């Protein structure tokens, strides 16, 4: 079955702009989580959506937001981009039995802010 | 506050030998623990997990051990293969609304010939 799909794979934006990243989870998975990976901070949790509702949120400023649609696809938005937002943004989806099968990650979107 | 720690940033092991990757955590509320393998420019790939009610889980060449009293887990890879060279992350999670993954900082494993 198809994995987690993230688009676009690469993105270059200018400081002050905003960006929207997209994630299509594995069919049947209702939970979608977003993570930011940077060399200095490792993998940091952004937020999790389950059945269109934000169920959990990490310690990121309000410039980072997300949403989930009825088909479980999710988007995250970053407004007023800063240089420090340059990172690999990863989306993960999960279904039942996540404690045994883990979360499935997409390949990520590499965002570069210049 | 780093709740999940991997104190060894790198590890080099000869092919065929055992690789042991370690992870410590501070939050006793974690319900299960996972290990992920990551190649550059790719998302992490799930390897193996263990519930907090168990002390060992095995899947092929991979075995995870959990010592709850010490808040310590380890991943054993036997025998190590060159294709195992990657960054390994341990992660911990609760359940339900506490189901976010808290990752360690990763250990880069290099398996040499």
Q: Tens of pLDDT along A68-102?
A: 999 999 999 999 999 999 999 999 998 877 767 78
Report the alpha-carbon distance of residue B63 to residue A78 in Å, rounded.
Answer: 39
Q: Which residues of B touch A48 (CB under 8 A)?
A: 99-100
Residue B82 has a pLDDT of 96
Q: Is A102 exposed, middle or buried (0-12, 13-18, 19+ CB in 10 A)?
A: buried
Q: CB under 8 Å to A93, separation ≥6 — which residues?
A: A4, A23, A25, A26, A29, A31, A32, A33, A72, A103, A104
Cβ separation of B99 and A48 shorter than 8 Å? Answer: yes
Q: Which residues of B touch A105 (CB under 8 A)?
A: 36, 43-46
The answer, yes or no, to whether residue B7 has pLDDT greater than 70, is: yes
Would you state the structure tokens that stand for residue B42, as one six-digit string?
A: 């790719």
Residue B100 has a pLDDT of 85
Q: Which residues of A touch B31 (CB under 8 A)?
A: 99
pLDDT band at B64 (very low <50, low <70, confident <90, very high): very high
Cβ separation of B100 and A56 shorter than 8 Å? Answer: yes
Would you state the structure tokens that stand for residue A6, as one six-digit string?
A: 């993230």
Report the alpha-carbon distance of residue B107 to residue A104 in Å, rounded.
Answer: 20
Residue B94 has a pLDDT of 83
Mean pLDDT along residues A52-67: 94
Helix extents (H) in A29-105 = 98-101
Q: When comparing pLDDT for B97 and B107, which is higher? A: B107
Cβ separation of B97 and A56 shorter than 8 Å? Answer: yes
Contact call for residues A12 and A30 (beta carbons, < 8 A): no
Question: A78 vs chain B: nearest CA distance in angstroms?
Answer: 20
The answer, yes or no, to whether residue B74 has pLDDT greater than 70, is: yes
The answer, yes or no, to whether residue B4 has pLDDT greater than 70, is: yes
Report the alpha-carbon distance of residue B51 to residue B47 in Å, rounded.
Answer: 14
Across chain A, mean pLDDT equals 93
Residue B109 has a pLDDT of 98
Contact call for residues A106 and A33 (beta carbons, < 8 A): no
pLDDT in tens, B13-43: 999 999 999 999 998 889 899 999 999 888 9
Bridge-partner residues for B74, per DSSP? B22, B65
Interface test with A, best of B40, B101, B103, B106 (most A CBs within 10 A): B101
Q: When comparing pLDDT for A39 and B102, which is higher? A: B102
B34 contact A CB<8A: yes
What is the separation of C-alpha A90 from the centre of its chain, rounded to a whole number of angstroms? 5
Residue B98 has a pLDDT of 64
The answer, yes or no, to whether residue A2 has pLDDT greater than 90, is: no
Would you state the structure tokens that stand for residue A113, as one six-digit string?
A: 């802010």
Cβ separation of B43 and A110 shorter than 8 Å? Answer: no
Mean pLDDT along residues B1-5: 85
Q: Which residues of A touch B51 (CB under 8 A)?
A: 99
Percent of chain A residues topping a pLDDT of 90: 82
Interface test with A, best of B46, B52, B87 (most A CBs within 10 A): B46
The answer, yes or no, to whether residue B75 has pLDDT greater than 90, is: yes
pLDDT band at A114 (very low <50, low <70, confident <90, very high): very high
């Amino acid at each position: 079955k198809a994995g987690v799909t993230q688009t676009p794979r690469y993105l270059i934006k200018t400081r002050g702009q905003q960006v929207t990243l997209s994630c299509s989870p594995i069919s049947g998975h209702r939970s979608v989580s977003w993570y930011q990976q940077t060399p200095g901070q490792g993998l940091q949790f952004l937020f999790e959506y389950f059945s269109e509702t934000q169920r959990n949120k990490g310690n990121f400023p309000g410039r980072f937001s997300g949403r989930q649609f009825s088909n479980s696809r999710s988007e995250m938005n970053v407004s007023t981009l800063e240089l420090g937002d340059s990172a690999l943004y990863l989306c993960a989806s999960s279904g039942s039995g996540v404690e045994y099968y883990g979360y499935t990650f997409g390949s990520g979107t590499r965002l570069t802010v210049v | 506050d780093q709740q999940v720690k991997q104190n060894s940033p790198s590890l080099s092991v000869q092919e065929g030998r055992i690789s042991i990757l370690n992870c410590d955590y501070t939050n006793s509320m974690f319900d299960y623990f996972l290990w992920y393998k990551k190649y550059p420019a790719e998302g992490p790939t799930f390897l193996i997990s263990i519930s907090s009610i168990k002390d060992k889980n095995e899947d092929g060449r991979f075995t995870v051990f959990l010592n709850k009293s010490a808040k310590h887990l380890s991943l054993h890879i036997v025998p190590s293969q060159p294709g195992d060279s990657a960054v390994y992350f341990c992660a911990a999670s609760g359940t339900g609304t506490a189901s976010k993954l808290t990752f360690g900082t990763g250990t880069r494993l290099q398996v040499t010939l």
